[in-house]
Structure 1
Amino acid sequence: MKPSRTELNSQTGNSITQKNKIKCPDGTIPVLRNTKDFLTSANLFPENYVHPQSVDSPGTHIAGVRSHAGPYRGIQAWVYGVDLKIEKDQASYSQIYLGSGVNNKINYISAGFMINPGYFGDGRVWSYGFWKGKDGKGCYNTACSGFVQVSQTIPIVQPIDISPTEPSFLRPFIHQDKNTGNWWLTYLGPDKPNGDLGYWPKELFDHFDNGANMVGVGGVVKASPSGSSPPMGNGKFPDGGRRTSAIFANIDVLNSNYEQSKISYFPIEILVDSPQCYGLRVGTVKWYRRTRLGYFFNYGGPGGNSCGV
C-alpha cells in the first residue's frame, strides 16, 4: 500500500489542491466511470499512443528533453497545464515519461496532463497515466487491467479546473519500488505525506527489471488526419520571458542506485522536430514566485497546417 523509496527533496508542490475530496470508505477507491465507447478507446489508443521513444507516427510533434544514460529508477518534474482549444481529432500532452526498448519492443510509462477529446469526449484538461508493456499491451489510467489504484482520495485520472488567467501545476513522480520492482505514481507536494496514487506491477513489463534506459519530459501533440496540428504548452513560442510560455521545472531523476540528480547531470538530447510550429528554450537556475526552478525549459507553440508529418 506504500512504496519503499528515498524521498525526493521537494522545493515546490502542486498548485492543484484536492478541494473537498471525500475519502472513499475502507476497501474502496475512486475510479472514473467508464462507458463502453470509453473502454473501446482505452484499448485502441495504446496502439497509436505518442511516445518519444520513437517519433515515427504521422502527425506526431515533440518539444522536450530526454536522456538515454540509464538505467534510471525514476523521474519527476513540475508540469504545466493550461486550457487550450483542441479539435476532436487532435491531442496535446504535457508529460514525464520513462522507457526501455529492444528490437522495436517498448516498455513505457508516462504521466501528466492531456487534452484529448477523442479519448475523453470533451476538451477539458485531464490528469492521466499511461503504460505500454510486454506483448504490446497497454492502457490509460484504470480503463483496463494494469494500474493498481491505492489512494482513496486522489484518482489517477480526473478533470482539472484551470483558471482562465493562471495555469495549474502538477508534480508527478514515477519511480520503481526498491523491494517489489513495481512502478509507483506519486504526486509530490509541500505537505507530508505525499500522494501515492498507486502502481503499475512489474509483471506488466519485460524490459524494466533493472530500471529504465531512458527518461524524458516535454510536450507532445497529435495532428488531425487533415494535417492540422494543435497548439502545445500554452500555444506560444518560448521566445519571451519564462512566464510567457509553458514550462517544465525541477526535473529530477533517480539513477540506478536511487540517487537523486538533476536531469542536466546526464547527457541530454533536445527534441524539437517541427521548429516552424513549436520551440524549446533551456533555462538556468532561477527563482519563480519564491520557488527555485532548478533545471527548467520553456516550450510550446501554436501549431498549424504546415508542421510537417
Structure 2
Amino acid sequence: MDVYGHNISAGHIITSIWIANMEGDPKTDENAIWVGWQVDPKKYGDSHTHFFTSWTRDTYHTGCYDMDCPGFQLVKGSKIAPGGTIQPVSHVHGVRQKITIKMFREKSTGNWWIHYGFNKAPTPVGYYPAKLFDKLSKKATQISIGSIVGGSPSIPSPPMGSGFLPSDKAALITNISLIGEDGRMTPFTVNTDRLQSKSSCYSISPIQGAKCSYGGPGGCSA
C-alpha cells in the first residue's frame, strides 16, 4: 500500500485489508480483523499517519483498535507496534513510500498473524489469538481491500489516498496475493465486487494485474 499523510483536524482516513467471517447475523455475529494505515486526530491526538489493527467478534460491540484492549499479541523484536507512526509518507510529485502487509491464519493454532514491512519485505508484528473469535479462528468468508473516510455533517469529508481519483497520481495497492489453506501465496486472480459510495469524491479501479488505484479529493458532505 502506498502510504500518504493529510493534515486534517477532524474525521479519519483509513486504507486497509479487512478479513472477516460473515456467517450468522451481520448485526451481531461478524468476526473481523482490519490492518492498514490511518489518519485519525481524535484517536491519536495528531494528524500523523499510523499503522493500525482492529478486531471484533460481534460486529463491533466488543474488540478495539491497536492495543487499546487485551487481544493483539505483539512479538518480541517487532519493528512497529499497532498504533505506531509511519514516517516518511509519500508525496504526489516525489517518492512513494509503501507498506507491505501479510495476514494469514496459522492452520495449527487458528491464530491470525500480521506481518509488516516499510519499503521492504514484511516481518512478524504479532497475532490475534484464535480464542478471541468464534468463527474467524476456523475460516474467513470475505476479504476486502480499499479505503474508508469519515467525517461529520458540518465538515467536508477528508481526502482519500493521495487525494486524486484513480490516475497516475492516485495511491496504489500492488502485488495483491492470496494465501491459501496450504499456506502458499499465489497471484490474486479471483473475481471481485467493486463498491463505491460516492464516486464523484472517491473511486477505486478494478483489480487488474494484482493491483489497483484509488482515492479522491473529498470535500463531500455526509
Question: CA–CA distance in 2 between the matches of 1:123 and 1:191?
Answer: 25
Report the equivalent of 1:120. Answer: 44
221-230 or 194-203: which moved more? 221-230
* Conservation of the 8 A alpha-carbon contact between 2:111 and 2:137: no
Q: Which blocks of at least 5 consecutive residues in structure 2 are unaligned? A: none
* Conservation of the 8 A alpha-carbon contact between 1:151 and 1:195: no
Instruction: Note closer, same or farther for the CA distance 1:92–1:202 as it changes in structure 2 (3 Å cut).
Output: same
Q: Deviations over 1:26-79 (max 9, x none)?
A: xxxxxxxxxxxxxxxxxxxxxxxxxxxxxxxxxxxxxxxxxxxxxxxxxxxxx1
Choose from 123, 126, 136 the match for 1:198. 126
Return the letter of the residue paired with 2:65.
Y
Report the equivalent of 1:96. Answer: 17
Pair 1:230 & 2:154 matched: no
Aligned CA-pair RMSD: 2.1
Question: CA–CA distance in 1 between the matches of 2:17 and 2:38?
Answer: 12
Q: Deviations over 1:209-261 (max 9, x none)?
A: 331001121111112242521100011111x32xx110101111123343423
1:119, distance to aligned residue in structure 2 (A): 0.3
Q: Which blocks of at least 5 consecutive residues in structure 1 are unaligned? A: 1-78, 286-294
Report the equivalent of 1:129. Answer: 53
Question: CA–CA distance in 2 between the matches of 1:195 and 1:277?
Answer: 35
Choose from 117, 132, 135 the match for 1:207. 135
Question: CA–CA distance in 2 between the matches of 1:190 and 1:178?
Answer: 28
* Conservation of the 8 A alpha-carbon contact between 1:174 and 1:186: yes
Question: CA–CA distance in 1 between the matches of 2:77 and 2:13?
Answer: 28
Higher relative contact order (CA 8 A, sep 6+): 1
1:282 is paired with a residue whose SS is: coil
More helix by share: 1
Report the equivalent of 2:5. Answer: 83
Pair 1:299 & 2:214 matched: yes
* Conservation of the 8 A alpha-carbon contact between 1:80 and 1:94: no
Q: Deviations over 1:80-116 (max 9, x none)?
A: 111113232x000111120012212211101111000
| Fraction of identical pairs, as percent | 26
Pair 1:159 & 2:85 matched: yes
* Conservation of the 8 A alpha-carbon contact between 1:86 and 1:231: no
* Conservation of the 8 A alpha-carbon contact between 1:211 and 1:256: no
- TM-score calculated relative to the size of structure 1: 0.64
Aligned runs of 1:176-187 on 2, under 5 Å? Answer: 176-187=105-116
1:301, distance to aligned residue in structure 2 (A): 0.2
Report the equivalent of 1:28. Answer: none
Question: CA–CA distance in 1 between the matches of 2:198 and 2:34?
Answer: 22
2:201 is paired with a residue whose SS is: coil
Question: CA–CA distance in 2 between the matches of 1:205 and 1:229?
Answer: 33
Instruction: Note closer, same or farther for the CA distance 1:247–1:191 as it changes in structure 2 (3 Å cut).
Output: closer
Report the equivalent of 1:53. Answer: none
- TM-score calculated relative to the size of structure 2: 0.88
